[in-house]
Amino acid sequence: MDVLAKGQQLRLLAHRAASVRHSCSSIRPARSRFLHTVVAQARQSAALRELQEQQEERASQVLESKTPVVTDLTWDRPLDIIKYPDPRLRAVNAKIGTFNDKVKQLGMEMLEVMYNGDDGVGLAAPQVGVNVRMMVYNPTGRRGDEEYILVNPKILSASGKREVHEEGCLSFPRLFANVERPYKVKVRAQDVKGDTLMLTLNGWQARIFLHEYDHLQGTLFHDRMNPEELRKIHKGLVALEEEYLQLHPGAVVQRV
Ligand SMILES: [Zn+2]
């Protein structure tokens, strides 16, 4: 290697180093712009989420203020599970405004009907034709285990994490399909005496609660299924509709 060549080499290296420095300096602002954009987007979506939650909260407050309140709880004995597509499953459910012995009595009778049902772990009042905001459940379905009677329940928050699991419903005999629901839910409800309960439910318990809560909103489990799952039980749904219409000719019901 001669001196001239070395000089050229040095110039070449200096030029390369300069161009590397140049490209580095041009990367830095680009990365910083990228990070800035990511942070801005995250802030924007958090703000949007917050706004959405506020709007939902306001909408639920408006809905709650319009929800009828029942002060004298009555029902026909013996309680019996009504089946899809009975219109009472889609009717408005009133809040319970008076807490007396009847509230506990209805809860106990609903638990009894649930245990006598087909492997039932939860039941909402509209499923026994009583259109009030009340549900019972027992995660094991074994009599005397963890029994819950929740009155006027309200969802405070639900997790972004969701899970898919097979569900059945006592109002849809022998029909099972997958439903996606939040994994965790925070709930405020009243017990049979009217005292406030705060619950954090996970997994299976959250799923049972959300299924029963849907009943109180007039939402049924097949409303939450994706088209593929719905296809699996479509024939069964139509069969239940036909059965109901045979027993109640001329009834106006929602059909799939
Ligand atoms: Zn159900």
Domain ranges for the chain: 1-66, 69-247
The CATH number given to 69-247 is 3.90.45.10
Q: How far is the CA of 41 from the centre of ligand 1 (A)?
A: 39
Q: How far is the CA of 150 from the centre of ligand 1 (A)?
A: 15
**pLDDT at 57 (0 to 100):** 66
Q: What is the mean pLDDT of each run of 10 residues along the chain (256 residues)?
A: 46 47 46 61 69 67 81 93 97 97 97 91 98 97 94 98 97 97 98 98 98 98 98 98 96 92
Q: How far is the CA of 84 from the centre of ligand 1 (A)?
A: 10
**pLDDT at 13 (0 to 100):** 47
Residue 192 and residue 152 in contact, taking contact as beta carbons nearer than 8 Å: no
**pLDDT at 144 (0 to 100):** 86
186: which 2 tokens? 């925070």
The span from the CA of 248 to the CA of 145, in Å, is: 38
- DSSP one-letter string for 38-67: HHHHHHHHHHHHHHHHHHHHHHHHHHHHHS
Q: How far is the CA of 126 from the centre of ligand 1 (A)?
A: 10
**pLDDT at 52 (0 to 100):** 66
**Residue 163 annotated as catalytic:** no
The one catalytic residue among 166, 180, 212, 228: 212
Q: How many CB atoms lie within 10 A of CB 147?
A: 17
The span from the CA of 110 to the CA of 73, in Å, is: 14
From the number of C-beta atoms within 10 Å of its C-beta (0-12, 13-18, 19+), residue 207 rates as buried
